[in-house]
Amino acid sequence: MDSLLDLLQIADSALPIGGTAHSFGLETLAEENLLTPENAEQFFNDYLAEAGTLECAFVRRAWRGEEPQGLSDEFNARRPARESRDASQKMGQRFARLVNSLERERVVPETLTYPVAFGVAAAHLGIEEHTAAAAYLRQSVAGLLSACQRLMPIGQVAASCMMWDLKPAIARAATAPENTEVSCFTPLPELASMRHGSLETRLFIS
């Protein structure tokens, strides 16, 4: 029961780690009408198959005990957009500080990217590997859906239905076979993140 309660807290999309300040390129895509209420669910299905699989792989590798700083460096190398790298780094730092405060000890290094920091924390808290990966990805998508609600007319019920329908895609990404992440690449949101600074008005940092 304790590990379940721990998971519910650290996988809360409202966790105070700065996630609500980032859209990871979605603001640019919405501004350019490439992301709309009509195609959002298909976009997230495709996103989960690529970026979701990639991030879950790093959560799971960190959970298994691979050297965390090396994993963070590798993850950063897989994200072409500086804005995306900076966002993941800052969220990982804040997440680590929060978990260390909750545990009253330094259990997560404060120099890690977010998925790596999450994997390290989940292992420490005794949360099962695939459960941790799925929970990480669900809260990540919940944050992105929340950004979409602020960028376009998607209501609470529609967003909840979308999240419900995305469960199979989240499960597939969380349990993808070893080395699947090698081929994962999401050029559209990465390029959109690079263009984000050129928007005339912005709600988000990235």
Confidence category of residue 182, pLDDT binned at 50, 70, 90: low
Stretch 3-14: mean pLDDT, rounded?
A: 88
- The 10 Å CB-count burial string (b at 16+, else e) for 51-74 is bbbbbbbbbbbbbeeeebeebbee
Domains plus CATH for the chain?
2-7+22-181 (1.10.4190.10)
pTM of the model: 0.93
